[in-house]
Amino acid sequence: MALSKRYDSDILETIRVLKEQKDVEAALDFVKEQLPETIEFQKELVLIEAPTGHEENRARRYAQMLEQAGLEDVRMDERFNVWGKIPGVGKTGKSVLLEGHLDTVFDFGSVKDVTVDEDGRIHCPGICDDTRALAANLAVVRALKAHQIKPWHDIVVAGTVCEEGLGGMSGMKALLEELEKQTSVLGAISIDGATSSIFYANATGMVDWQATFMGPGGHAWTASGMPSAVHAACRAAALIADLALPDDPKTIATVSLIEGGQAIHGIAQRCTIKINARSNSQTVLDELNEKIKACLERGAQLENEAKKAPGMITVDARLILDVPAGSQPRDCRMIQAAEAVTIACGVVPELLAGGCTNTNMAIARGIPGVCLGRGGQEFGTHTLAEWFDPKGVEKCEQKSILLLLALAGLDDRIKSLAETL
């Protein structure tokens, strides 16, 4: 598969020379040859349940695996983020990060066992997202150490917590804050999402709102003139549903949950709604936040006006999740490098617009970042029917090896691209 002329010449040359190095070639072969063992690590990890905020057991085992693979200075923070490094021979104090997240969306008790069907597909909740990334990154460490490959800058490999749901990528944020005390992170690679071809390099911002409407309540019949917290919430929800939002940048807002009231024959004293909003533009998302607040306040006002009860219904609104948006130019060198290594591995790259992954946190801090897919084929992620087909999955590890070494540099043979991103 030919590399396009639209890529900068030094990126193409770096990747070409990397692939010609005997030790790099051996590492690329290693991850394919060792795939059965990598899959066994993946199966072991998926059985260690790790709901968001409860990753400790999986983190401790993953730390052991990384140490056994030869990663140096492996450590764990109070949140149970785990990371270590392959020291760079340049001793520059700079690094490139490779990470996957430890948590899954499933509650304790959801994972019963791992089964493999006659077609080789592995069935288990969480087997893909993001357990596969943990196993893939472990394989990368094993390959680099097995062939004594030494980068110029440090390579940091991490398992992060609290990526899913209301975790809001807070583990990645905390990791980057900690790394800033130790090293200058020149680039970040996350492994998340399906297939070997798909990748993300821009960050969809996301917020979750929780708004609680409160009022006096009363009997549905005898206090029929009292305003209702449920009615106010519904009025606000309708206003949010009717907001005119842009298609470009893609922006959404949805009232996703509502609960309240105290009796079927009572006027609701309390009602809570939750709202999810996203945009590929931080500016648009900031504007949308103001509109959502206005809708919530207007919902309470409309209910009070309808019942001629000024000020009786109040609303308390707060952000319970805030993930920043960010973007990188389509022709930026980080995207070029990600696409070029994908092509070099025999895969046609597909950059998807937006994406809400741990890469958001890197981009928001001004660190060039990409999120590469886990490889193989997937079905039913975030459902109990999740399965993973590992055929050809080694492309994930091979892309990571090439991109890491292109960015970090290879001892004194190949110059780092990361400082030119």
Q: What is the CATH number of the domain that holds 298?
A: 3.30.70.360
What is the structure's pLDDT at 252? 97
Answer yes or no: do 194 and 215 share one domain. no
The answer to whether 376 and 361 have CB atoms below 8 angstroms apart is no
Same domain for 152 and 116?
Answer: yes
Please write the tens of the pLDDT for every residue from 304-342.
Answer: 999 999 999 999 999 999 999 999 999 999 999 999 999
* Whether residue 300 sits in one domain with residue 340: no
Task: Return d(Cα 373, Cα 252) in angstroms, integer.
Answer: 24
User: How does DSSP assign 142-180, residue by residue?
Assistant: HHHHHTT--BSSEEEEEEES--SGGGTTHHHHHHHHHHT
Residue written as tokens 């493999």? Answer: 116
Domain of residue 154 covers 9-203+326-420
Instruction: Tell me what the mean pLDDT of segment 239-265 comes to.
Output: 97
pLDDT of residue 6: 82
Give 253's pLDDT tier (boundaries 50, 70, 90): very high
**DSSP letter string, 218-264:** EETTTTTTS--HHHHHHHHHHHHHT----TTTTEEEEEEEEEE-S-T
Q: Is the pLDDT of residue 148 over 60?
A: yes
**Last residue of some domain: 279, 301, 323?**
323
Residue 361 has pLDDT above 80, yes or no: yes
3 is a domain residue: no
Of the residues 323, 344, 376, which one is the last residue of a structural domain? 323
- 244 CA to centre of own chain: 28
Confidence category of residue 4, pLDDT binned at 50, 70, 90: low
**pLDDT higher than threshold 60 for residue 406:** yes
Query: CB 1: neighbour CB atoms within 10 A?
Result: 9
Asked if residue 123 and residue 29 are part of one domain, the reply reads yes
- How many CB atoms neighbour CB 327 within 10 A? 17
Q: Which of 176, 252, 161 is nearest to 207 (CA)?
A: 252
Inside any domain, residue 1? no
Say if 2 falls within a structural domain.
no
- The CATH number of whichever domain residue 355 belongs to comes to 3.40.630.10
* pTM, two decimal places: 0.93
- Please indicate, yes or no, whether residues 52 and 192 belong to a single structural domain of this protein: yes
Alpha-helical regions (H) of 96-130 = none
Is residue 4 one of the residues assigned to a domain?
no
Above 70 in pLDDT, residue 5? Answer: no
| Choice among 55-64, 175-184, 350-359, 399-408 with the minimum mean pLDDT | 350-359
Given a cut of 70, is residue 1 above it in pLDDT? Answer: no
Residue 288: enclosing H or E segment and its boundaries? helix 282-306
Tens digit of each residue's pLDDT (9 = 90 or more) over 19-78: 999 999 999 999 999 999 999 999 999 999 999 999 999 999 999 999 999 999 999 999
pLDDT at 3: 53
Cα–Cα distance, 175 to 160 (Å, whole number): 7
Burial string for 294-320 (b: 16+ CB within 10 Å, else e) reads ebbbebbbbbbeebeeeebbebebeee
Enter the DSSP assignment of 106. P
Domain boundary pick from 296, 323, 350: 323
- Share of residues in the chain with pLDDT > 90 (%): 98
Within 10 angstroms of residue 68's Cβ, the number of other Cβ atoms is 12
Asked if 175 and 219 sit in the same domain, the reply is no
173 and 50: one domain?
Answer: yes
- What distances in angstroms separate CA 30 from CA 146, 247, 293, 404, 419, one per listed residue? 9, 45, 54, 16, 28
Whether 210 and 196 map to the same domain: the answer is no
Task: Indicate the average pLDDT of the chain.
Answer: 96
Pairing relation of β-strands 115-116 and 122-123?
A: antiparallel
CB 145 within 8 A of CB 70: yes
Mean pLDDT, range 218-228, rounded to an integer? 96
Residue 18 falls within a domain, yes or no? yes
232 falls in which pLDDT band (50, 70, 90)? very high
* Residue 6 backbone phi and psi in degrees, to 5: -75, -5
Query: Once rounded to an integer, what is the mean pLDDT over residues 357-364?
Result: 96
Q: Is residue 13 part of a domain?
A: yes
Say yes or no: 31 and 144 in one domain.
yes
pLDDT reported for residue 31: 98
Would 251 be classed as within a structural domain? yes
For residues 277 and 415, membership in a common domain is answered with no
Number of domains in the chain: 2
Residue 197 sits in the same domain as residue 330: yes
Residue 76 sits in the same domain as residue 89? yes
In this prediction, residue 208 has a pLDDT band, given cuts at 50, 70 and 90, of very high
Q: Is 399 within a domain?
A: yes
